[in-house]
Amino acid sequence: MIRLGDIAQIIDANCVGNAQQQIESVADIRHAGPGQITFLTSKDFLPYLATTKASAVITSEQFTKDFTGNLLVMSNPYLGYAKTATLFDTTPLPSVTMSSSAVIADDVVLGEGVTVGANTVIASGCDLADGVSIGPNVSIGEGVTIGANSRINANVSLYHRVSIGSDCIIHSGTVIGSDGFGFANEAGQWLKIPQLGAVQIGDRVEIGANCTIDRGALEDTYIGNGVIIDNLVHIAHNVRIGDNTAMAGTTGIAGGTTIGKNCTLAGRVSIIGHLDICDNTLITVNSTVTKSITEPGAYSSGDVIEPNSQWKRKLARIKRLDSLFKRVKDLESRLKNDSK
């Protein structure tokens, strides 16, 4: 239990109502009940403000009219919700143990408070800083470095010479440092090109489950500070991601592309290789990027959903565009000749 007034101080909000109200958890505004705190950030959910049974609501000044319950008022209520949720986080902390089934090379450097889970293998030359947590069944190759307080969850694979910064979270099933897709064709046969680079990951990076980040062909693949990556994202060799960029699920970036700082790539974005995407670029869901972007802003491609019958009619018309274009050109030519 946490007093509402204490939450207000922690998240820097103005408490309107009973500061002594005890809060036991956070909930969605549609389902919150007594003892719970919720949040409102969008007018789309405004009707639920009148019906919510929550003991308190985090919101902005524009949504406080006609509500008589307890409020925490602030300019960025979504940030307030994020900080409040942290107070009630029940994610289990790593146990302060070194599993007897872990296999750790003799020359591995282990900082204070490092924990290693069952059946994990850590190869020679690795350096794990203070507070690093390694889950079970993790494979860490030669010469890997992991910064302070980073957490590597179960079944992650870190190939040789991967470097991970401080305060990072790598979720289960992710593979970092596997070979990039580099091959040369020799008389119809594919000759593998050794991938001589590595992967560098900055501080405060979170990488979702089942992602793949390939090592560089010559130079390193690079992920900047504060980058957040959703599940099932693929980053090819020699890609560079700028600080504080966000990438949603099933996005794929081909080799050699550079993404700037503070960019947002929505779900299922595809970017071909060797492009440059400037800082502060938003690429919307299901977009395919085939050329560099030099001006900040929002960019889109692809179709949005519509009734199947309409989509079929549109597709049929698209198939006729080439013949229609030729007919129009022919008519233009005739009109031009007739006017002479």
Sign of CA dihedral 90, 96, 101, 104: positive
Q: How much is the pTM?
A: 0.90
Tokens describing residue 291: 């050329």
Looking at residue 18, its pLDDT comes to 97
Looking at residue 65, its pLDDT comes to 86
Burial class (CB in 10 A: 0-12, 13-18, 19+), 308: exposed
Please choose, from the candidates 98, 51, 94, 70, the residue with its C-alpha nearest in 3D space to the C-alpha of residue 7. 70
SS3 label, residue 327: helix
Residue 180 near residue 143, CB atoms below 8 Å: no
Spatial separation of the C-alpha atoms in residues 323 and 208, rounded to whole Å: 47
The beta strands (E) that lie in 174-283 are given as: 175-178, 183-186, 189-192, 199-201, 206-207, 212-214, 221-223, 228-229, 234-235, 240-241, 246-247, 252-253, 258-259, 264-265, 270-271, 276-277, 281-283
Spatial separation of the C-alpha atoms in residues 337 and 309, rounded to whole Å: 41
Looking at residue 340, its pLDDT comes to 65
Spatial separation of the C-alpha atoms in residues 265 and 206, rounded to whole Å: 15
Tokens describing residue 13: 């909000």
Spatial separation of the C-alpha atoms in residues 108 and 114, rounded to whole Å: 12
Please indicate whether residue 171 is annotated as part of the active site: no
Spatial separation of the C-alpha atoms in residues 212 and 230, rounded to whole Å: 11
Catalytic residue among 160, 234, 237, 274: 237
Please name the residue that has the structure tokens 């190939």: 159
Q: What angle do CA 27, 31, 36 make, to 5 degrees?
A: 40
Looking at residue 16, its pLDDT comes to 96
Please name the residue that has the structure tokens 């599993």: 99
Segments of the chain scoring below 50 in pLDDT: none
What's the mean per-residue pLDDT of the chain? 96
Please choose, from the candidates 265, 271, 233, the residue with its C-alpha nearest in 3D space to the C-alpha of residue 249. 233
Spatial separation of the C-alpha atoms in residues 166 and 36, rounded to whole Å: 34
